[in-house]
A and B are shown apart, each in its own frame.
Chain A
Amino acid sequence: MDANGLSMLLAAVEGRMADVSIFSPASPQAGWIVDLAILALAIIGIIFLVVEGILFYSVWRFRRAKNDAPGEPAQVYGSEPIEIAWTAAPTMIVFFLVLVTTRTLWQVEAAPVQPREGDQALFVTVIGHQWWWEYRYDSYDGRKLDFITANELHMPVGDGETQRPVHLTLQSGDVCHSFWVPRLGGKVDLIPGRSNLLAFETEQPGLYLGQCAEYCGAQHANMMLRVVAETPAEFEAWLANETAPAVEDPAVAEGKATFLANSCVNCHRVSGTAAQGDGAPDLTHLMSRETIAAGQVPNSRSNLRKWVHDPHTIKPGVLMPAFGLSTEEENQIVEYLRTLK
């Protein structure tokens, strides 16, 4: 183990690592699961100590000794009362566990909800793709939104007075995926041909990490989820930016032309331009996102450059090909992308 490993052990001991754990919930939904988990852990913890205790005691206490009298120990063939007792006890524990499980199930499984004006709920359709996330913002606070973004989900936080839940409709564009942000709640799968629901809310602003939890092919490992929870004001500002048309900067007209002239447009969309593909992340406000490639690398000029040159060096197996553009064309395109704020 290196120094890094040691410092992480220390961090774990001090509880600093807890802020990625399912045991530090940031939403009521994740919290209810923790309540159930702690109850279940306590029960099985007791069972563990008792049974393991009996086992170790019996093996130690009854181990064969040199000076044992010859002959066999007393043969006990069984006992009906004892059998009934240790059938009844686990049955009662199981009954109790079924009850608490039911309660939590009814709490956390989302029922369909209709958008209504004034109730501050956000509705987003999430579409899983090999290996990135598409977010279609449907409505907020009863207002229709209708814009598309990718890989980073923004949501408003609630406060003591107003809840601001997000209702996700989960769909898949290709194979099965699973939406899992541990601190915000349990995972729900995205299954082709079907819509699933997931709802959660939080009062703590911050960045919540998660990632696809259902094996979905070569880059399953790099299908990160980033949920940015922000104050309602920040969220409104972000909404205003995302709903605005793409920025037109005459200084990068060449880059734009190159972008539109290449097969980038078959897959990507930049609203207000001829690029209307929907097989790949929407680039309209690319620069409002902190990372590219579904959380793989920071959204920096050099990473964009690397990506456009050959995305496979960043994400081997990605469904975007390297186009073999000239260095100049690549630079132009990157400069154009950099203006998509």
Chain B
Amino acid sequence: MATVDHPQRLARSGIAADAASRGWAAALHEWTTTVDHKKIGIMYVLMSLVFLVIGGIEALLMRWQLFYPRAEVIGPNVFNQLFTMHGTTMVFFVGMPILIGIGNYMLPLMLGARDMAFPRLNAFGFWITLFGGLLVYLSFITGAAPEIGWFAYAPLTEHTFDRNAGTDFWALGLLISGIGTIGAAVNFIATILGMRAPGMTMRKIPFFAWTMLWTSFQMLLAIPPLTAALVMVLFDRQLGAHFFDVQNGGSAYLWQHLFWFFGHPEVYILILPVFGMVSEVIPVFSRKVLFGYEFMAAATMAIAFISLGVWAHHMFCVGMSRTLDLYFAAASLIVSIPTGIKFFNWLATIYGGRVSLQSPMLFCFGFLSMFLIGGLTGIMLAAAPFDFQLSDSYFVVGHFHWVLIGGTLFGTFAGIYYWYPKVTGRMLSERLAHWHFWLLYIGFILTFGPMHVSGILGMPRRIYTYDPSRDWEWWNQLTTIGALVQTPSYAIFVYNLIASLWKGKPAVDDPWDAWTLEWTTSSPPPSYNFETQPIVHSRRPLWDLKHPDDPDWQYE
């Protein structure tokens, strides 16, 4: 076995050790001025986790208000602020940055590079994303968080209907953090295309790099329309333009198209990197090579392209026309084909393997078993007439959380459990990981399962209260209880992350007996990543090292 132990390197374990060895002020200076992709990656992930906790608290407050019909816990205005901030936070300040962060940390290592292509742009991207997030949250401090929902439909956001400065903070914050996202996308593309180790052709890059590449193209295409729309709404509000102001010749549709031209690819921006992460973890923990690498890569590309043409399936109820509805329904259904291909390939990778259900794989199992359901309810919603009934109902809330939590979050957790030893030089506690998993898994089903039922019973989303005559209370109570079951799982996770920095078992360089380049360097990696530039002959360079008699490149 090619794993080597480097006990002498353990002292260098992340932030805590940095601080202990050099004093907090020096560490702070080091971290705020760094252009090292690894430190930036860690900061992205930490920022996202803080926002995850904030977004989670917002969700709990909403669920508290909905426990009883006609409850008076927080009232309409606070509730409307909460779902606006919750959705905005989760999408822009949890989902995207956590994936960008992991990509930032891992990609140069996996590609055998010293750093990202543009280290300064990278640092700029992080700080401006954080600044955008703070700006959006500043609205709370001024006492006027936005009350417009995360998709902020015009003309509700026009000055006529909304004098609340929170909306301006919201638009500015997203605009600014969007610039950071575009920077990150450019950087990923340049890194993946230009910074690979010798011998690593595009057909040999780790699968995670494929998905990050397509995600980056999607960001590049999807964020600018949003930025344009945000500038327009700010013009409307601050300068009296009338882009979305119907009473003065503007168009409410325009916003919807611009927003969803961003908003739909956004969903794939949030899921493609996760596909990449589980495609790294599943093979290692099944002890098998990823089944059908080329088909998987092609399917990723297909998803990225098709998904740019399906945005108006969020607009089936706005009265487009039968033909347009049909086009968008068909295009949306077609996305399920490449998604299905990926799913079957993951199953084929597991099949016949030797599966170890350690924490990273456990979360992949959670991802597979749950993401499937989110995908299938998505197929139902793509059948446009069904969506006439269920769009903007709780069924949709159930569906997209199933995708975002069952998919994005479970997959991201798999990635974090997988790479934590590399990043910190310590192992996470498996016992706590299992508590994290099961509480999340059960609580999640209990939270979002009943939402499908309340939607079928006619409950629209974004309502701060409901009448007892509607018979929705039982399902809402189940949902709230589910949210309470989930809550400790996040606390356990955060505790595990922190406590293991000190108490975790020291990690060797390659604790999972894995195959990609990041595992050849020490845990944590030195600031220059690799002592000598690695040279690659196959998709699994460490397999070749560990099996000199049966190297991979023979079969590719």
Contact = CB atoms under 8 A, between A and B. Distances in A.
Nearest to A186: B388
Contacts of A101: 326, 329-330, 333, 383-385
A37 B380 contact: yes
B466 to A, nearest CB: 7
B386 A64 contact: no
B372 interface: yes
B460 A180 contact: yes
B248 to A, nearest CB: 10
B379 A40 contact: yes
Of the candidates B149, B385, B470, the one having the most CB atoms from chain A within 10 angstroms of its own CB is B385
B532 interface: no
B458 A212 contact: no
A91 to B, nearest CB: 6
Contacts of A213: 317, 391-393, 460-461
Interface stretch (A1-9, A144-152, A231-239): A1-9
Contact of A22 (B334, B336, B389, B466): B389
Nearest to B153: A176
A78 interface: yes
A211 B460 CA distance: 8
B460 to A, nearest CB: 4
B311 to A, nearest CB: 16
B3 interface: no
B429 interface: no
Interface stretch (B89-97, B124-132, B281-289): B281-289
A216 B147 contact: no
A209 interface: yes
A108 B326 CA distance: 13
A87 B155 contact: no
Interface residues of B, number: 91
Contact of B458 (A44, A106, A180): A180
Given A36-B386, A58-B347, A191 B473 contact: no
A: contact size bracket:
35 or more
A59 B286 CA distance: 9
Contact of A86 (B147, B289, B293, B344): B344
A272 interface: no
Contacts of B466: 221
B16 interface: no
Contact of A78 (B153, B291, B325, B350): B291
Given A58-B347, A214-B392, A295-B467, A221 B383 contact: no
A212 B461 CA distance: 10
Nearest to A30: B389
Interface string B477-505: 10000000000000000000000000000
Contact of A105 (B246, B326, B343): B326
Contact of B317 (A22, A52, A189, A193): A189
B376 A44 contact: yes
Interface string B18-52: 00000000000000000000000000000000000
B244 to A, nearest CB: 10
A4 B460 CA distance: 22
B548 interface: no
B341 interface: yes
Contact of B369 (A52, A62, A68, A130): A52
Contacts of A83: 292, 295, 341, 345
22 contacts: A5-B473, A32-B385, A33-B385, A36-B385, A52-B369, A68-B354, A74-B352, A90-B337, A107-B385, A108-B388, A186-B387, A187-B317, A191-B253, A191-B318, A193-B252, A194-B252, A196-B319, A209-B470, A217-B80, A220-B462, A221-B462, A222-B465
Interface of A: 1, 4-5, 8-9, 11-12, 17, 20-23, 30, 32-33, 36-37, 40-41, 44, 47-48, 51-52, 54-56, 58-59, 62-64, 68, 72-79, 82-83, 86-87, 90-91, 94, 97-98, 100-102, 104-109, 130, 170, 174-176, 178, 180, 182, 185-189, 191-194, 196-197, 209-222, 224, 295-296, 316-317
Given A59-B355, A221-B463, 8 more contacts: A8-B474, A11-B471, A55-B365, A78-B345, A194-B253, A220-B462, A221-B465, A317-B77
Interface of B: 75-77, 80, 147, 149, 153, 155-156, 161, 246-247, 251-253, 286-289, 291-295, 317-319, 322, 325-326, 329-330, 333-334, 336-337, 340-341, 343-345, 347-348, 350-357, 365, 368-369, 372-373, 376-377, 379-380, 383-393, 456-458, 460-467, 469-471, 473-474, 477, 547, 555-556
A-B pairs with lowest CB-CB distance, top 8: A186-B388, A221-B463, A196-B319, A78-B292, A8-B474, A192-B246, A193-B246, A44-B376
